[in-house]
A = this chain, B = another copy of it.
Amino acid sequence: MPVTQAMIDSAYKAIQPFIRTTPLDLSIGLSEITGVNIWLKKEHQQYTGSFKLRGALNCISHLSNEQKQLGVITASSGNHGLGVAMAGKITGTKVTVFVPKTTSEIKVEAIKNLGAKLEFVDGDVLTAELTGSSLAKETGSYYISPYNDPLVIAGQSTLGIEIHQQLPSAKAVFMSVGGGGLISGIGSFYKENRIDTEIVGCWPVNAPALLKCIEQGKINDVSEYPTLSDSTAGGIEADSITFPIAQKVIDQYYTVVESEISHAMHKLAAYEREIVEGSAGVALAAILQQAKKYHKKDVVVVLCGNNISFDKWIEVIEPYHFNKKIKINYCVK
């Protein structure tokens, strides 16, 4: 396995003093309506509002002093960009984030507030990534990929350590999958330790890139459609190490449609008064869908982030609340 127990231990040692050990709480309400013991891993309460800090911080922590001096580069206006910026702040490392010129002011401000430098590029996220990574090659700076890096994956694996410490009896851990960094990390921890907990990947039907690649046995371009789980959407890099890891560690997977995601986001607010982004809704939606199969079992749902604008969130949950006709704008084409 590309991410070994030694790397996981080293990650935990490096980042644990600087991150929040997030709560794992039983949801009485969601457990009652499903018949499953639903435990919520509240990683949306992590600094920057997502787990991405873990991987970024582990990455920077393992750089040589020379590399740290040069600063690090990344390209992401979302959770990963925030995570790298925060990791830079914690470690005193210069961070440059490449983003498209069209990035919203609120995301730009959030990254700036963490002290990172922004570089705006003409074009989309892929152009930003290519510009950032080629500059990194030129200057010798380290380019932090959102998922395609063993150090990033080892950082995310610390979530597995925490979950296992908090609930050794967990029958399954449900999490949404995008590039696969999170599930590769958590899965590596459980498999390396031969712990019999089911690793469950959850995808929106509209954005199943890594799932389709696994089904086809190789990394391919996959058509995707708009999804509430915007932070997990997008294709997989051709050489991504998350592909072989995900192939090995994922025991089970489920897909959910957009209305299941929004319904799950509403249920979480109604029963737990927690506001989360769509990707977290995906994981909860999957266990709501599969409740019969996990009857009376201890199931962990990773609430992986809360970076959704409040306007967007309320638009998503509002139809459920006011019993209006439910109109979902997102659908499988």
- A115 on interface, CB distance cutoff 8 Å: no
**Residues on the B chain within 8 Å of A206, using CB:** none
Binary B-proximity of A291-317 (CB < 8 A = 1, otherwise 0):
000000000000000101011011000
* Cβ–Cβ contact A20 & B23, under 8 A: yes
- Count the A residues whose beta carbon is within 8 Å of the partner chain — how many? 21
A230 at interface, CB cutoff 8 A = no
Q: Evaluate contact between B273 and A313: CB separation under 8 angstroms.
A: yes
Q: Are B314 and A273 in contact, CB atoms less than 8 angstroms apart?
A: no
CA distance A308 to B273 in the complex (A): 9
21 contacts between A and B (CB under 8 A): A20-B23, A23-B45, A28-B109, A28-B110, A28-B113, A45-B45, A49-B273, A269-B275, A269-B310, A270-B310, A271-B310, A273-B275, A273-B306, A273-B308, A273-B310, A273-B313, A274-B275, A275-B275, A310-B321, A311-B321, A314-B321
Closest 3 pairs between A and B when the two form their complex, measured CB to CB: A273-B275, A270-B310, A273-B306
Cβ distance A162 to chain B, nearest Cβ, rounded Å: 14
Which residues of B have CB within 8 Å of A311? Answer: 321
Least CB distance, A199 to chain B, in whole angstroms: 27
A103-158 residues with Cβ-Cβ distance < 8 A to B are 109-110, 113
A273 proximity list for chain B (CB < 8 A)? 49, 275, 306, 308, 310, 313
